[in-house]
Chain A
Amino acid sequence: MELTVNGAGRSVAAGASVADLVRDIVAQPRGVAVAVNGEVVPRTGWPARALRDGDRVEVLTAAQGG
């Protein structure tokens, strides 16, 4: 299925969860937060949160900032 991840198109296997996607994107999930379609998905909910075709996903992490 096709997602928009951090503003760019990305194909993932059908049935993938947020946890699966995070594992594909970052080496380790520490310091990472996720929102799907503008709603925050807490870390504890990643494995159970199935992604759907067309979902907009933001995968954020620590960056330098004042």
Chain B
Amino acid sequence: MPFELGGQTFTSRLILGTGGAANLHVLEQAIRASGTELVTVALRRVGTAPGSTGGLLELLDRCGVRLLPNTAGCHTATEAVKVARMARDAFDTDWVKLEVIGDERTLLPDGVELLRAAEELVSDGFTVLPYTSDDPVLARRLADVGCAAVMPAGSPIGSGLGIGNPHHIRLIRQGVDVPVILDAGIGTASDAALAMELGCDGVLLASAVTRAADPVAMATAMRYAVEAGRLAAQAGRIERRFHALASTPDEGRPEL
């Protein structure tokens, strides 16, 4: 079933971040291998950060993906709203991955500033996809102010620790009507599959692919992991049992 997000339809449920790739050639191969249709970009001073010396937008054009600008590095609602408006001007899109960081070591979001920025950007016509913590109440508040999705962290950005509190991810899924996208903390394919098995509608990841020893192979793994997790979630898993339940029948067993 296609994935509806912000009024658009996607086939892939994997959103790829471009941060951390060693070079644009590897990034392009990884994007193609992942099958993603939505890719994040940041805004930085011209000619400074990786990618800002040119070629990134052309690469994303060639891949035929939609852009999702982020507000990475912002620490206040005021700053994030300005960056979102600059991104809209630069990239002709009103979609934004809203990040408002509250702590330097963990890069976890500042929920108060995040909610304030989300409210302002929604009222300004943005399609707001907020990077949030795994707090089910904050996620509900973000959905209530009109965010197009909520994107809880599995664990801190770039940590590769996977999903620290699977129960909260389930609670978030139950608590909002908008898509839930697991964002941050994915380390390997099983983490992405678990996110989907928990009921998430999509997965956003960057470092897990871009900083893998073989980014293209990991991008392929993530593509299948998201599909496998989604299929498994819909297939209805068996109950967990304390003891065994034989799969081979006792009937017809020979006496030897």
Binding site for B on A (CB under 8 A): 6-7, 25-27, 30-35, 38, 40, 42-43, 58-66
Contact = CB atoms under 8 A, between A and B. Distances in A.
Most buried by B among A27, A33, A64: A64
Given A32-B90, A33-B43, 4 more contacts: A40-B86, A60-B44, A64-B18, A65-B44
Nearest to A38: B82
Contacts, number: 100
A66 B72 contact: yes
A26 B57 CA distance: 14
Counting chain B residues whose Cβ lies within 8 A of the other chain, the interface size class is: 35 or more
Interface stretch (B1-9, B45-53, B215-223, B226-234): B45-53
B82 A62 contact: no
Contacts of B163: none
B189 interface: no
In the A-B complex, the 3 residue pairs with the closest CB atoms? A65-B42, A66-B17, A66-B206
SS of B interface (majority): mixed
Contacts of B46: 6, 25-26, 32, 59-61
Nearest to B41: A62
A38 B82 CA distance: 8
B50 A63 contact: yes
B51 to A, nearest CB: 4
Interface string B195-224: 000000000111100000000000000000
A62 B45 contact: no
A66 B86 contact: no
A62 B206 contact: no
Contact of B91 (A7, A31, A66): A31
B108 interface: no
B70 A63 contact: no
26 contacts: A6-B46, A27-B54, A31-B57, A31-B91, A32-B90, A33-B86, A33-B89, A40-B89, A59-B46, A60-B44, A60-B86, A61-B45, A61-B46, A62-B91, A63-B44, A63-B50, A64-B18, A64-B42, A64-B49, A64-B50, A65-B17, A65-B41, A65-B44, A65-B70, A65-B72, A66-B17
